[in-house]
Amino acid sequence: MLGLSMRDLRVSFRDLEKPALAVPALDIRPGEKVAVTGPSGSGKTTFINIVTGLERTRHGSVRWSDTELSSLSEARRDRWRSAHVGLVMQEFYLCPGLSALENVLLPGRLSRVRPVAELKAEGLRLLERVEISRPGQPVETMSRGQMQRVAVARALVTRPAIVVADEPTASLDADAGIAVANLLLQLAGEAGTTLIVASHEKRLIERLDRMIRLEAGQVTRDTGALQEMAERDEAF
C-alpha cells in the first residue's frame, strides 16, 4: 500500500490570477478511503491530475511513499502510473469494438506488470464480481451502468496500490450510481488500496473514511485533520 504526502504544492496556469491549487500540507494514509469534493472550478480535477502524475508538479512536493512525482519525467510518470494507479473516470474511456474482457485487460497488457494468463484470470474474476455475465460482449452494446462496471474492473485488474475515481457516478442514473459506488468501495476495500474519489454525490462521500473539500484551489475542510485533532485532545 502507498500513502500520499503533499508539501507546499502550488499549481498555477497562465490565464489565472490565483493558483488553481494551493496545498501547504496534506497526508493520506496507505489504504485510506478519501472523498475530494467542492464546487465546479474548485481544483478537484487539478488535484486528481497531480496525484496521478498526469500533470507535473512544478512547485512543491507530491510523494507517494518513496516516489517523488515532481522528480520524474513524463515517461517515468507514465510507467509509475501504469504500475501503481487504477483510474475510473466519468466518461469511462472504453474502446468500442473490443469486448468487456478485452477492455479490462488492455491496461495490464500495455504495462506488462503481470503475466497474461494471470491477468486474464483476474479480469474474468472481476467481471463476475461486477456482475458482467458476458465477458465477450462488445462494450458499445452495453448500458452506461454496465460500462462503468467494466471500467471499475479495469481499474482494479492489475491490483494497483492506488485507485483514483473522478466523478464515477455522475453520468449514471440513481440506481446504477449506487450499484457502481457499492462495487468500487467493496472491491477497493477488499484489495486494501488507497482510494481517492472526486465526487459531488453526498451518499458516496458519506461512505468514505474522510472528506477533503476544495474551494478556489484551497482546502477549506478536512475531516481527517479534524479527527486527528480530536484524537490528540483525547490523548491529553
Residue 229 banded pLDDT, cuts 50, 70, 90: very low
Q: Is 24 left (phi over 0), alpha (psi -120 to 50) or beta?
A: alpha
Evaluate if residue 231 carries a pLDDT over 70: no
Amino acid identity at 120: K
- 127-142 pLDDT, tens digit per residue, is 999 999 999 999 999 9
- Provide the pLDDT for residue 107: 81
- Residue-wise burial string across 166-195, b where 16 or more C-beta atoms lie within 10 A, e elsewhere: bbbbebbeeebbbbbbebbbebbeebebbb
Average pLDDT over residues 208-220: 96
For residues 23-40, average pLDDT: 96
pLDDT of residue 234: 55
Note the pLDDT of residue 225: 60
98 CB contacts (<8 Å, ≥6 apart)?
A: 106, 138, 139
49-97: pLDDT as tens digits: 999 999 999 999 999 999 999 999 999 999 999 889 999 998 889 999 9
Quote the CATH superfamily of domain 4-235.
P-loop containing nucleotide triphosphate hydrolases (3.40.50.300)
Per cent of the chain over pLDDT 70 is: 94
Query: What pLDDT score was predicted for residue 228?
Result: 55
Reported pTM = 0.90
Identify which has the larger pLDDT, 152 or 113.
Answer: 152
Q: Which residues pair with 5 in a beta bridge?
A: 27, 63
Whole-angstrom Cα distance, residue 158 to residue 111? 9
pLDDT in tens, 144-202: 999 999 999 999 998 999 999 999 998 899 888 999 999 999 999 999 999 999 999 89
- State residue 39's pLDDT score: 94
Residue 114: predicted pLDDT: 72
Three-state SS for the chain is: CCCEEEEEEEECCCCCCCCCEEEEEEEECCCCEEEEECCCCCCHHHHHHHHCCCCCCCCCEEEECCEEHHHCCHHHHHHHHHHHEEEEECCCCCCCCCEHHHHHHHHHHHHCCCCHHHHHHHHHHHHHHCCCCCCCCEHHHCCHHHHHHHHHHHHHCCCCCEEEEECCCCCCCHHHHHHHHHHHHHHHHHHCCEEEEECCCHHHHCCCCEEEEEECCEEEEEHHHHHHHHHHHHHC
Query: Residue 1's pLDDT is what?
Result: 76
Q: State the average pLDDT for the chain.
A: 90
Q: What are the sequence ranges of the domains in the chain? A: 4-235
* Residue 15: predicted pLDDT: 80
Say if residue 120's pLDDT is above 90: yes
- Per cent of the chain over pLDDT 90 is 72
